[in-house]
Amino acid sequence: NAGVTQTPKFRVLKTGQSMTLLCAQDMNHEYMYWYRQDPGMGLRLIHYSVGEGTTAKGEVPDGYNVSRLKKQNFLLGLESAAPSQTSVYFCASSPAGWRVLGYGYTFGSGTRLTVV
């Protein structure tokens, strides 16, 4: 099925460990985003990409790195996990520019990460 696929769906990390979350979309969307969702905080943008090979910081980028080597994939990395990074992470994609108004944003089903 077309859409945004996130792996893994669940993960438990120890403080200081590293990991990479993978987001893959098959809709040929130019833009991709990583959000974190915390109770009472809504969705906060971590990083985003407006095209292959580009990345930009969002609202809460500290402690995360991203890469977009291929148009269909957007990776989110945690180099040294901290308990404050316990959250649900969502990836989203959209067409570029004015076309996003008609299509909206397509979200993955999320990755639930716990850092102990």
Footprint on this chain of another protein (rule: CB under 8 A): 4, 31, 33, 35, 40-43, 45, 48, 58, 90, 92, 94, 96-97, 100-102, 104-105, 107-110
Closer to another protein by Cβ: residue 74 or 90: 90
Q: Residue 11 Cβ, how far from another protein at the closest point, in Å?
A: 15
Q: Residue 100 Cβ, how far from another protein at the closest point, in Å?
A: 5
Which residue bears the tokens 């570029």? 96
Residue 85 has φ and ψ, to the nearest 5°, of: -95, 5
Instruction: Tell me the three-class secondary structure of the chain, residue by residue.
Output: CCCEEEECCEEEECCCCCEEEEEEECCCCCEEEEEEEECCCEEEEEEEECCCCCCEECCCCCCEEEECCCCCEEEEEECCCCHHHCEEEEEEEECCHHHHHHHCCEECCCEEEEEC
Q: Residue 49 Cβ, how far from another protein at the closest point, in Å?
A: 11
Q: Residue 16 Cβ, how far from another protein at the closest point, in Å?
A: 28
Closer to another protein by Cβ: residue 16 or 104: 104
